[in-house]
Amino acid sequence: MIPFHVQIFRCDLPFCRSLASYALACLTFASPLTALAEEPQASAKHPQLLLISFDGAADNRLWEKSRDIAKRSKAHFTYFLSCTMLMARGPASKAYQGPHQAAGKSNVGFAPTEADVAARLLNIWAAHLEGHDIASHACGHFDGKDWSKGDWLQEFSTFRAVMKNAWKENGVGDKEPDGWADFAEKGPPGFRAPYLSASETLPQAEKEAGLIYDASLVTKGPQQPEKDGALTRFGLPLIPEGPQNRRVIGMDYNLFVRHSAGFDNPSKSADYEERTYQAFKTAFEAEYNGPRNPVQFGFHFVEMNAGAYWRAMERLVTDVCLREDVACVSYSQAVEMLKKQDAGKS
């Protein structure tokens, strides 16, 4: 394992409290599955892949904003949905019980109303029709570093059941679109573990659940995913950032912690945006002009530091995704494109 700087921080914001251990888990690589693998570099003859993803996928305003960015950039995104965002507070939320948790508990809360869920369902379906991935971030956003395979399968099963019954359970069963049942039955194509924290049993559970990719690893810079023929495992990269080029995970929350210790500081939003954009762009261009390993950046449906990280993401996407030799794709699309690349080498 390669050492790097770890920041100690406090965070009193509601969002940060719900994810208080997130940065620590990510920055210290506490999970046995958070590996810094050395992968073979890819050929520079194929398109440069850029994968943008969002964890949680709650705020309906940000669903619409992200879908608009994608349309203008001809990009496809991946949404790692927390299924408690399809449960309104009340009987449904009280009935949910995650592995080794009390009934009615969720580290990211629940949807405020059935109307809020109904709007989210419309966004999910529209995003699906637009070609985006609707993937899983489990349900209650719990740390699964000690979970068994059965624990993971329990949470995966709950996710599928909630998706299947979401329209009816939220009073809009008559508006369920044709095709939703098949979409929900097929299940999410992939998964990202909350806090990027997982047990050794996670890949086994993912394969048994029929998932084709995992996006819970962290790698030293952009690298080719790990592939075993059944599951493709992607990792968010550690990228140089800031005046000293110290590496940080390419995700908004980790930048938020580094820049402002997990406290919103709107007065420096423009500075944080520029630092982030330069870090993203430098990491992207290094691959684009070099080995062309897939580049991945992760975000949340929270505009931290007055939207600095979303603005940096939008600048990057609108800048590079329209290039003829760049493909801004979902994780499912990346899996298929990488298969074709591998087949072309044989």
| C-alpha pair distances (Å), 207 with each of 83, 191, 212, 233 | 20, 11, 7, 11
Task: Read off the pTM.
Answer: 0.89
Per-residue exposure over 21-44, b if at least 16 CB sit within 10 Å of its own CB, e if not: ebbbbbbebebebbbbeeeeebee
Separation of alpha carbons 189 and 134, rounded Å: 8
The answer for 74, left when phi > 0, alpha when psi is -120 to 50, beta otherwise, is: left
Encode the chain (346 residues) as per-residue pLDDT tens digits.
333 333 333 333 344 444 444 444 344 333 334 445 444 444 447 999 999 999 999 999 999 999 999 999 999 999 999 999 999 999 999 999 999 999 999 999 999 999 999 999 999 999 999 999 999 999 999 999 999 999 999 999 999 999 999 999 999 999 999 999 999 999 999 999 999 998 999 999 999 999 999 999 999 999 999 999 999 999 999 999 999 999 999 999 999 999 999 999 999 999 999 999 999 999 999 999 999 999 999 999 999 999 999 999 999 999 999 999 999 999 999 999 999 998 887 6
Is residue 232 helix, strand or coil? strand
Superfamily of segment(s) 14-345: Glycoside hydrolase/deacetylase (3.20.20.370)
Can you give the residue ranges of every domain in the chain? Answer: 14-345
Is residue 230 helix, strand or coil? coil
Per-residue exposure over 187-202, b if at least 16 CB sit within 10 Å of its own CB, e if not: bbbbbbbbbbbbbebb
DSSP one-letter string for 93-124: HHH---TTS-TT--TT--BS-HHHHHHHHHHH
DSSP bridge pairs for 56 = 81
